[in-house]
Amino acid sequence: MTLNTLRTQGLLLKTILLVTLSLSPAVFTQTHAASPVNALLTGLNFPVSLRFAPDGRIFYTEKDTGNIRIIQQNGTLLPTPFATVNPIFNTSEAGLLGIALDPAFSSNNYVYVYYTYRDGQFYTHGHIVRYTASGNTGTSARDIFDVTSSAPNTVYHNGGYIKFGPDGKLYAMVGEFHQGQQAQNQSSMTGKMLRMNPDGSVPSDNPMAGSLDYALGIRNSFGFDFDSSNNRVIATMAGPGSDDKILIIVKGGNYGWPTCLAVCNDPRFIEATVDFKQIVTPTGIAAVAPNSYIFGEYTTGNLVQLQLNATGSVLSMTQLYNAPGGIIAVELGPNNKLYFTTPDTIYTYDLPARPAANAADPSLVILAIIVVIASALPLVYTALHYRRKRTQTLQQAIQKRLGDERFQVAYGCAS
């Protein structure tokens, strides 16, 4: 091999690496000259879930008070609640936990909330009720769904996040109410993701006939979202003292709890997409672009961007912001703004401009470059393979740092 050949290969390799770096999701996150984070409202009472009405209003729930509140189009908070759930059980993780607006809200004005209450025998119930919005007031409350804990006096792992999917069905996370074995009990609705018609009935195409269960083996989840670019459902799951997880939920999937904690290595179970060895308590998560997700961590207060490839493998994780008090809800709102909450504040985060809907997956572009060039330039493979190892090491270091920077946990990580 001549010196000129080596120089030529080196120049081509440099060009390829520059193109790779310019496209790689590991550095795809754009920076901002000024902080992209702004406090929308402060001094709030544990805003735990929020939704956006087509007319610009924001509906959110207060975990402990049972109040459903409305933020007007001009950003001011209405002093009178939309409705107040009563009675409510709000000890520890319990309370008014989830809210969803009907896909046909503009015409039917339906607002759904998930909350917990206690019966006379001290069993905890997860309950969904539907209100009809008459202006800024909730009327005509109708019971949609109810689930009961398998043991009395439970306070943890209530689930409560609800959201309508692109299929028009209402999805709900129900924790196992601190009774781990129920997550594998197919006769129980606890420890599951549920899928129901808007009236609470069982869809005919659910995995098991006559059952609301959509996925099982889930300890407790504080959030999920739908990625319309690939029909993916992505969710968070809190672990006991380690192994918090990010899951890709599939129809009928079993995620192993409590049979296995970390990597299952069992064909019966679906492995986590991300497994955190130390507690970060992932909470809300939002799909912000194809294969790109932003989630919050309650223990650390970190807002984190997760980039996957088309097959669901991790390309990168990037810390975007650190919030005081821990992050709870994370939702993609109008005008390419991300909304997230802490125990007393609702924030907005200005996202970079979205890539075009038909833009190529950066990882696929990189792969195509490598495949075309590698056969002619053996050095390219070696250099890129070395860079990949360094990238993996960096990603592992980031994950460790996210796990190490812990705050005192007041919500969502009880064992």
Q: What is the mean pLDDT of residues 180-198?
A: 97
Residue 126 CB contacts under 8 Å (≥ 6 apart), including other chains: 114, 115, 116, 145, 146, 147, 158, 159, 160, 174
Q: Report whether pLDDT(217) > 80.
A: yes
pLDDT of residue 304: 98
Q: How confident is the model at residue 35 (pLDDT cuts 50, 70, 90)?
A: confident
Averaged confidence pLDDT in the chain? 84
Whole-angstrom distance, CA of residue 298 vs CA of residue 224: 15
Nearest to 126 by CA among 150, 155, 99, 146: 146
Q: Which of 297, 299, 342 is nearest to 320 (CA)?
A: 297
411, pLDDT greater than 70: no
pLDDT of residue 282: 98
What is the per-residue pLDDT across 219-276, written as a single tens digit (0 to 9) for each? 999 999 999 999 999 999 999 999 999 999 999 999 999 999 999 999 999 999 999 9
Give the pLDDT of residue 397: 40
| Residue 354, pLDDT score | 56
- The number of residues in the chain equals 415
Mean pLDDT for 19-36 is: 45
Q: How far is CA 145 from CA 29, 127, 160, 198, 246, in A?
A: 40, 6, 12, 10, 26
pLDDT tens per residue across span 292-342: 999 999 999 999 999 999 999 999 999 999 999 999 999 999 999 999 999
According to DSSP, residue 77 is labeled: B
pLDDT classification of 6: cutoffs 50, 70, 90: very low
- DSSP SS3 for 65: coil
In this predicted structure, the answer to whether residue 378 has a pLDDT above a threshold of 50 is: no
pLDDT of residue 236: 98
Cα(387)–Cα(217) distance, integer angstroms = 37
Lowest-confidence pick of 14-28, 80-94, 225-239, 337-351: 14-28
Give dist(CA 374, CA 384) in Å, integer: 10
**pLDDT, position 352:** 84
pLDDT at 25 over 50: no
- pLDDT (0 to 100) of residue 99: 99
Contact 126, 114 (CB under 8 A): yes
What are the start-end ranges of the E strands in 90-223? 96-101, 110-118, 123-134, 137-152, 162-164, 170-174, 192-196, 213-216
pLDDT value at 372 more than 70:
no
Query: pLDDT by residue (tens digit) across 40-50?
Result: 999 999 999 99
- Tally DSSP H helices, then E strands, for the chain: 4, 24
* Angstrom distance (rounded) from CA 327 to CA 341: 6
Look at the alpha carbons of 207, 250, 219, 194 in this order and tell me if their dihedral is positive or negative: negative
What confidence tier does 173 reach under pLDDT thresholds 50, 70, 90? very high
- Residue 353: the pLDDT is 64
Instruction: Summarize pLDDT for 108-166 with one digit per residue, the tens.
Output: 999 999 999 999 999 999 999 999 999 999 999 999 999 999 999 999 999 999 999 99
At a CB cut-off of 8 Å and minimum separation 6, what does 313 contact?
none
For 405: left if phi > 0, alpha if psi spans -120 to 50, otherwise beta; the answer is beta
Give the residue, 333 or 357, on which the prediction is more confident: 333
